[in-house]
Amino acid sequence: MQESDLAQLLRDTFLVLFKLGGPVLAVGLAVGVVMSLIQAITQINEPALAFVPKVAAIVTTLVLAGPFMLTTLRDYTTHLFDHLIQVGGG
């Protein structure tokens, strides 16, 4: 295995990481900012008011993006194992 192969695998790993974590984190961030603005405007300081919509949005995102995430992870795992077999000479 050469350095270029390792660099490519590392790049692919980070790309998969961003594909899997990015949508969930982005939705959580967006809902958190919106709820913070609503709390600031209405001056209601209730922790559950920010927590419940954020959890609901994250769960919804996971349900909607779940098939895409599963396919992405499956394809990457298959690619990684194929590459390991190639390198191992098996």
Per domain, the residue ranges of the chain are 3-88
Is-contact 58 28, C-beta < 8 A?
A: yes
Tell me what pLDDT residue 89 has.
Answer: 64
The ranges of the chain with pLDDT < 70 are 1, 89-90
Cα dihedral across residues 24, 27, 32, 33: positive or negative: positive
Half-sphere exposure of 19 (CA within 13 A, CB side): 17
Is-contact 23 65, C-beta < 8 A?
A: yes
